[in-house]
Structure 1
Amino acid sequence: MFVLCLQWVVGPAAWAVGDEAWFDAVKQKATPAQLYTFLYAMPKGGDLHDHLTGAGRSEWWWAAALAQETHGYTYYTKVRINNCAPFDVNEYGRAPYLLLFRNLQESHYKQLSACEQGEFKRLQDLTPAEKTGWLNSIRLNKPYEGRDEFFGAHWQRLNDITRNPYIISDILLDNMRAFGREGLIYLEMMNGSMGFLKPDGSPIPPDDVVALYRKILASPEAKATGVTVRFQTSVLRFAPTAEQQLRAEYAFVDKHRDLYVGINFVGREDNGKGYPLRFLSTLRDLRRQYPAINLAIHAGEEDQPDHHVRDSLLLGAKRIGHGVNLIEDPQTMLLMRDNHFMVEINLISNLLLEYVPDFAHHPFPEYLRIGIPVALSTDDRGMWDSNLTDEFYVAVTNFNLSWHEIVTLGRNSIQYAFVDAATKQKLLKEYDQRIARFESEFKRKGWAAFKDVHPVNYSFACKHFKLCFPPKDPAAPTDSPQTNLPAALPHDFAVTN
């Protein structure tokens, strides 16, 4: 036991020589349910690549939207097509007409023609079948759904629901609670403060939205989760006004640096109008005006070779989101080895959006094992109906992660965060203490250490891992504690100190 303590006193580098036999035994002997429980209970550090509007589970959006009448909002959703639009309607625009379950707040619903109003119903008036359709409409739950469904329908359906700061605050709290139960201590979420609307459709000043976020994060409910939160703001890379957006977001982040710690470029990379070097001159101009602002840029989220990762580093990015096709750019891989640039790995996202044909083809283990810093993250977990435990389960079962590699992933998820230095050191210390305590407890008690651990998972794990943890009470909320661990958890994993 002295050796274990010494390793954590002298730092993570010394930990690499530690005994891994106990974790090898876990991987060899644990049932899938036991391994999942182990990973669920395990401290995980943070999640650095997480779109807040993509992180809301369908059930969370539903509950939050129905609760908004207290703030004066009522929502309608499209449940039928009355062929009200002209026949030359552009179905490939931002708001396609032939899209069921598109959501409008009442002020926008009242602007529709009588014919179009007949296509919509209030959320609270939906039949059970319509509610099921609504819930399924904003998650990838069919084998034939993929990249086009995600980029071309999910966000367009949510629509006005994402422009209510009270709903976004509810989704933030839902995520903090769920991630806290999974053992996370830090979230760095992509979440803006512009474009929000009052019930009458008039704009809400961004500073008012920031004040609401601060109030939520200071609340007892948020504090009780044990999760520290910071935000990035985003620029839609292929928008005609993307340069203007970037200038506005730069000024905004500079004004709120304690809460907003970076800027991200988002949107499909296969839309060529958003190529990274489009923004080089704008960023150089902004860096003449403002102290440094962190950049974490989506790059390499493609299934064909390009130089977007390299070009994003030239823009000043410190973290690369996805980096799937980095494997096709050996010179940039050499640049990133043992360097201070990190790749945010999203295994489930890359599978469901068809950037890899299966997990076995994902380049993650190559990056990890040649020295490119990486960390696991969830991207749009609500739309996958998954969690961070699922990401670790995929990584362990497909790539045989060592315990040292798992701990490195957890540390990276804090070490490469954009949070201020003092908070980062506090979080690193907390993570190191928690992961050491977790290991020590498991070595002493074996599976008895998890007698009070009740994993919470969702449809992704149920479908892909055949691991379903139904609520103890069928009528209980989806996120209630689960209790279907194997009746007899073996104790042959206990390690004598």
Structure 2
Amino acid sequence: MMALGWSVTFLGVCLTAGQVTGDDELAAYHKLRSSFLQKEDMLMNGASLRLNKVEEEFDRWLTSTVGSLIQQYKKERLQERFVPATYFPKVRSHIENTTLYKVLRKMPKGGALHIHFSSATSLEWIVDKGLLLPGCHVYWPAGSPPSAASPKVPKGALAFFNASQAVPDGYLPASQLLQKPGFQAELLKLLTVQPEDEQLTSAEIWAKFADVFVRTGHFFTNTAAVQQYLRATLEDFLADGVSHVEFRIDLFHDQAHLYDLDGREHRGVDKVDVYSRIVSEMQKSAPHLTAKMIASSFRMRPPEDMEKDLTYAFEVKKQRPDFIVGWDAPGEEDIGRPTLEYAAQLLRVQNLSKAYGVDMPLMLHDGESDWSTLNTVDAVLLGAKRIGHGFNILSHPLLMEEVRKRGVAMEVCPISNQVLRYLTDLRIHPGARMIENGLPVTLSSDDPGIWGARGLSHDFWEATVAWQLNTRTLKALARNSLEYSGLTGAEKEGALRNWEKDWDHFMATWKSLVSDEHQVYV
């Protein structure tokens, strides 16, 4: 009502002073409209950024290209299956064949702050490379899974067994199965979502996700598999214009350790070092690369186990303070425990920080839900520095103001939310409203491997087209991903400095990716 009153008053002042023509009224209205939109624009992410001439030229191309895409969809009468309103597995190939995607892929995007390690890049890697690892076996029964031998093992579950271990019924050596025609394609289908999954409900697609994680769970307890998959993942992110990645990696006090094929165990600091050593090795050839770990528990855990996990994370972080940068408890919210149930444990973070002499920022999965809208409220009030998803935050206008005031970054994952059926049309994704209201927003890809994506470019494409983002906002999103990262102060300064150089280089060379200024499709 305040905005309406302001507009009526403004228009009234413009139209006083005697007889006014219709043209005067229209001119006054256009002046009012322009002023209003300018004020609204100043709320958005990136509003304070000023573009140079090169960036302005890119912005004109971006606006024209996105507009052409939208008009093309309308012309082809595709409104009922507008690409950002279509299930991602159905349109991935289309997206990858657009010039916009090829340009965005080269654009320096900063960091990926919301990534689950075991699905961080395309799971085709498992089918193409992982199956070749020594000792790799796959649960591939001839008929239906034998209920007595392995009642909870889904077909396609991967595991490692050495020559001295007894192999359970139904598991066959991957080397043997690779000789079977069609095996790799069938396994990949079991590890990924498919176009036909569009018909599933959120609960049903979550159940399919759970089966994928069961299939790959044992695979990612193998040290060699973790090392090689991490290397491939970081290579994919670097190729996608992403220089910093923060992986959510399980760190339970009582399970989920790593094992060599000979049975040697890596737990706690030893487990963390398996990851950090690969990062250090890759930095020799890619010095701008940085990667960190967010220690993770699980939303289904009882509060007493959650408390032990949190304390254990502090014990490990004390020994590796620069590699572990935060803590989370992911899991499906609609069937998991509410965040409030863990309030007593999370309120201990400050005392634990004092006791161990290290900070442990909370980076909590919350608001990724059809129902549990209060989880986001609890996450913010309990002191989270970042919120994973925050899909339901629009239900709480006061909370949005609190997020803005506290500088709590929102890790927005548009494709993930669509794949998991929290919405179908990305034009109405709350991430757009977060950006428009000036909340600190970063874009991330969550579990891209499960839907065949790599890096961040697919999410940037969907957001750019669905939300009609401009260059200022894209630049702000990339900067946000480094400014709100878990990097140390010195690392952050270096990362931002390197990103600025990469951004300037991109702006100087992007035209080489576009043979025709108005080209949309390749």
TM-score with structure 2 setting the length: 0.75
The residue aligned with 1:84 is 146
2:113 counterpart of 1:60: no
The residue aligned with 1:377 is 444
Larger Rg: 1 or 2?
A: 2
Q: CA 1:365/1:343 → structure 2, altered by over 3 Å: closer, same or farther?
A: same
The residue aligned with 2:505 is 437
Q: CA 1:85/1:96 → structure 2, altered by over 3 Å: closer, same or farther?
A: closer
- Aligned mates of 1:249, 1:276 — CA distance in 2: 18
Among residues 459, 465, 490, which one is paired with 2:516 in the alignment?
Answer: 490
2:189 counterpart of 1:136: yes
Deviation digits for residues 50-101 of structure 1 (CA, Å, limit 9, x no counterpart): 01111142221234433432xxx33232344455325xx9xxxxx8536211
The residue aligned with 1:105 is 160
- Aligned mates of 1:492, 1:81 — CA distance in 2: 55
2:339 counterpart of 1:276: yes
The residue aligned with 2:91 is none
Among residues 37, 40, 46, which one is paired with 2:105 in the alignment?
Answer: 40
The residue aligned with 1:27 is 63
Among residues 172, 179, 185, which one is paired with 1:121 in the alignment?
Answer: 172
Deviation digits for residues 354-394 of structure 1 (CA, Å, limit 9, x no counterpart): 11122122111100011111011010111111131111110
- Aligned mates of 1:315, 1:265 — CA distance in 2: 14
CA shift for structure 1 position 22? 4.1
Q: CA 1:401/1:278 → structure 2, altered by over 3 Å: closer, same or farther?
A: same
Paired residues for 1:162-173 under 5 Å: 162-173=220-231
- Aligned mates of 1:404, 1:149 — CA distance in 2: 39
Amino acid at match of 1:232: I
Paired residues for 1:18-417 under 5 Å: 20=56, 22-29=58-65, 33-69=98-134, 73-82=135-144, 84-86=146-148, 97=152, 99-106=154-161, 111=166, 117=169, 119-126=170-177, 127-144=180-197, 147-192=205-250, 194-201=256-263, 203-220=265-282, 223-224=285-286, 226-240=288-302, 241-273=305-337, 275-288=338-351, 289-290=355-356, 291-304=358-371, 306-337=373-404, 339-387=406-454, 388-417=456-485
Deviation digits for residues 412-463 of structure 1 (CA, Å, limit 9, x no counterpart): 0000001100000111111122213322334xxxx3x228xxxxxxxxxxxx
CA shift for structure 1 position 131? 1.8
CA shift for structure 1 position 107? 5.8
Name whichever of 336-345 and 152-161 sits farther off.
336-345
With a CA cutoff of 8 Å and minimum separation of 6, indicate the structure with the bigger relative contact order. Answer: 2
For structure 1, list consecutive stretches of 5 or more residues without a partner in the other structure: 1-11, 90-94, 452-488
Structure 1 moving runs of 4+ over 6 Å: none
Q: CA 1:412/1:218 → structure 2, altered by over 3 Å: closer, same or farther?
A: same
Deviation digits for residues 164-192 of structure 1 (CA, Å, limit 9, x no counterpart): 12211211111111111111111111124
Q: CA 1:350/1:13 → structure 2, altered by over 3 Å: closer, same or farther?
A: closer
- Aligned mates of 1:225, 1:354 — CA distance in 2: 39
Identity of aligned residues (%): 24
The residue aligned with 2:490 is 422
Q: Find the residue that maps to 1:43 and give its secondary structure.
A: coil
CA shift for structure 1 position 225? 7.5
CA shift for structure 1 position 109? 11
Q: CA 1:220/1:298 → structure 2, altered by over 3 Å: closer, same or farther?
A: closer
Amino acid at match of 1:130: F
- Aligned pair count reads 425
The residue aligned with 2:49 is 15
Name whichever of 316-325 and 212-221 sits farther off.
212-221
Name whichever of 165-174 and 145-154 sits farther off.
145-154
Verify the 8 A CA contact 1:173 1:222 in the aligned structure 2: no
Q: Find the residue that maps to 1:148 and give its secondary structure.
A: helix
Deviation digits for residues 335-365 of structure 1 (CA, Å, limit 9, x no counterpart): 1135410110101100000111221221111
- Aligned mates of 1:34, 1:83 — CA distance in 2: 46
Q: Find the residue that maps to 2:260 and give its secondary structure.
A: coil
Deviation digits for residues 110-161 of structure 1 (CA, Å, limit 9, x no counterpart): 5566xxx1x2321121113222111121111242256334432110111210
- Aligned mates of 1:405, 1:41 — CA distance in 2: 17
For structure 2, list consecutive stretches of 5 or more residues without a partner in the other structure: 1-45, 70-96
Name whichever of 28-37 and 421-430 sits farther off.
28-37
Deviation digits for residues 307-360 of structure 1 (CA, Å, limit 9, x no counterpart): 111101222210000111111122211211354101101011000001112212
Q: Find the residue that maps to 1:15 and give its secondary structure.
A: coil
Deviation digits for residues 209-257 of structure 1 (CA, Å, limit 9, x no counterpart): 3333333222257633742111111011212322222221222122211
Amino acid at match of 1:254: K
TM-score with structure 1 setting the length: 0.79
Amino acid at match of 1:215: R
